[in-house]
Amino acid sequence: MDINVINKAEMLEFTERGDDRGHLVICEGGIDIPFDIKRIFYIYGSDTDVIRGQHANRKSEFVLINVAGTSKVKIKDGKGNETVYSLNRPHTGIYIPKMVWKDMYDFSEDSVLLCLASTHYDAEEYIRDYDEFIKIINEEGD
Ligand code: TYD
């Protein structure tokens, strides 16, 4: 297990191609997004007190973009390190590597959180129990 896995997470800044008709942001897999995009889903209509995510993924990498509104993403590496990212602009995203715990919260009423994933959906690769996540991280060791 890479001890610096949480450091692989990073904010991505996409080029805004604006003209007098408005803005255009392009996210191409393998170019603007650091993986080939296999799946997209989006989350909206979550109340401000809702916490989503609350899982880690054995295989999937994600890029999260608030294409409208705002939210926060907290990621934890299971070794005591955590980082909070604010998603508040449609041309920025957060890259999240595999095997980090994710919480999405503080959704604005108009939040539309676009999620790009490196895999097709497979429920088996989700770790939804935090204690199990900690156990796996520690078992995999350094
Ligand atoms: P869940 O992972 O709990 O959502 P979030 O991480 O955004 O809080 O997913 C909610 C439900 O949707 C759950 O029953 C699994 C299903 N689901 C799919 O079938 N495919 C998908 O790509 C995703 C993300 C979820």
pLDDT in tens, 7-52: 899 999 999 998 999 999 999 999 999 999 999 999 999 999 999 9
55 is catalytic: yes
Residue 115 Cα: closest atom of ligand 1: 24
Any bridge partners for residue 57, and if so which? Answer: 126
Split into its structural domains, the chain has a count of: 1
CATH, residue 67: 2.60.120.10
Six token digits for residue 20? 């007098």
Q: Which of 7, 73, 16, 21 is nearest to 46 (CA)?
A: 73
Domain extent, residue 20, equals: 5-140
98 pocket-lining for ligand 1 (C-beta < 6 Å):
no
Pocket test for ligand 1, best of 42, 44, 50, 52 (most atoms within 8 A of CB): 52
pLDDT in tens, 50-95: 999 999 999 999 999 999 999 999 999 999 999 999 999 999 999 9
84 pocket-lining for ligand 1 (C-beta < 6 Å):
no
Ligand 1 centroid to Cα of residue 43, in Å, is: 10
DSSP track, 50-112: --EEEEEESS--EEEEEEES-EEEEEE-SSS-EEEEEE--TTEEEEE-SS-EEEEE---TT-E
